[in-house]
Amino acid sequence: MDLLLEPLALSFFVRALIASALVGVVCAVVGTYVVLRGVAFIGDAIAHAGFPGVVVAYLLGLPFYLGAAVAAVGTALAIGFVTRRAAIRQDTVIGVLFAGTFAFGVFLFSGISGYVADLFSFLFGNILAIGAEDLVALVVLGLGVLVAVAILWKELLYATFDPLGAAASGIRVDRLEYLFLALVALTIVVSIQAVGIILVVAMLVTPAATAQLLTARFTRLMLVAALVGISSSIAGLYLSYWLDVASGATIVLVQTALFILALALGPRGLLGRRRGHAEDADDQLMGMPAA
């Protein structure tokens, strides 16, 4: 018990715990839509695009969140706009923007001498270093994203499942698409401090992917994903504290372990499918993907 309570006496650990728990939930909720839409690649691209924003904010002495938010949301909307208007495939556009924006960040950063430690924390996160002001910004942004999803979860669900039917019934699918990309961007901005640019895609995708192996019902899927997100954040942070290793990487590793466990043992995982015949038709915890 002392092992769990002892770090709570340290204010930096408490701040890190609040931040990483919230990041775990926000990423899992938005990540549910990311996984169902099959747009993990977009998340990765937006994360890398946040990098030059962070560097510019750093150089100008502006808040870190402001730079990241402007760059990430800007890139997200650009992806949405270009793929709607130009005759280029979306993955091609993303591939170009992904590498291009990240290169711009490296280009800017390489002009600054002797800040390798900071570069490392941008790329891989350093939640234990989060200050009180950054924590407030993180909580406000994170709660904002959750409120937006709470307001529009039905419309996002309908537009993801059947965009044509949703659009025909009056749901503004085109506007929702932009809003969704902006929400993904803000989620990533919130997460950069915790896990960094490189690992954020795991925070988005892994909890929802794990939940998909456990349930075939949307609302449960989002709930399970959020539980996986928050529990791996807390467990990962404690583990990293005890073992004195990088916190972001530890959180992601806990998520990955849970995913592998669900993949092996879950009702919709590798072993579950073989037992599939005995399922009760109305038990939504069991379910096979469509043939």
For binding to other proteins (CB under 8 A), which residues are involved?
Answer: 36, 87-89, 150-152, 154-155, 157-158, 160-171, 212, 215-218, 221, 281-284, 287-290
Closest separation in Å from C-beta 89 to other proteins: 6
What's the rounded Cα separation, in Å, for the pair 91 and 147?
Answer: 30
Q: Which helix (H) or strand (E) holds 56?
A: helix 40-60
What's the rounded Cα separation, in Å, for the pair 127 and 136?
Answer: 14
Closest separation in Å from C-beta 282 to other proteins: 5
Q: Are 132 and 140 in contact (CB under 8 A)?
A: no
Q: Which of 95/131 has CB closer to other proteins?
A: 95
Q: Which of 132/150 has CB closer to other proteins?
A: 150
Q: Which of 134/155 has CB closer to other proteins?
A: 155
Q: Which of 131/165 has CB closer to other proteins?
A: 165
Closest separation in Å from C-beta 170 to other proteins: 3
What's the rounded Cα separation, in Å, for the pair 109 and 121?
Answer: 13
What's the rounded Cα separation, in Å, for the pair 232 and 39?
Answer: 23
Closest separation in Å from C-beta 25 to other proteins: 19
Closest separation in Å from C-beta 285 to other proteins: 10
Closest separation in Å from C-beta 23 to other proteins: 24
Q: How many CB atoms lie within 10 A of CB 46?
A: 34
- Write the DSSP assignment of 85-143 as a string of letters: HSSS-HHHHHHHHHHHHHHHHHHHHTTS-S-HHHHHHHHH--GGG--HHHHHHHHHHHH
Q: Which of 89/275 has CB closer to other proteins?
A: 89
Tell which residue, 226, 247, 283, has the closest CA to residue 30.
Answer: 226
Q: Which of 230/286 has CB closer to other proteins?
A: 286
250: left (phi over 0), alpha (psi -120 to 50) or beta: alpha
Q: What is the gyration radius of the CA atoms in the chain, in angstroms?
A: 20
What's the rounded Cα separation, in Å, for the pair 213 and 216?
Answer: 8
Q: Which of 111/170 has CB closer to other proteins?
A: 170
- C-alpha of 86 from chain center: 27
Closest separation in Å from C-beta 125 to other proteins: 30
Closest separation in Å from C-beta 283 to other proteins: 8
Q: Which of 88/112 has CB closer to other proteins?
A: 88
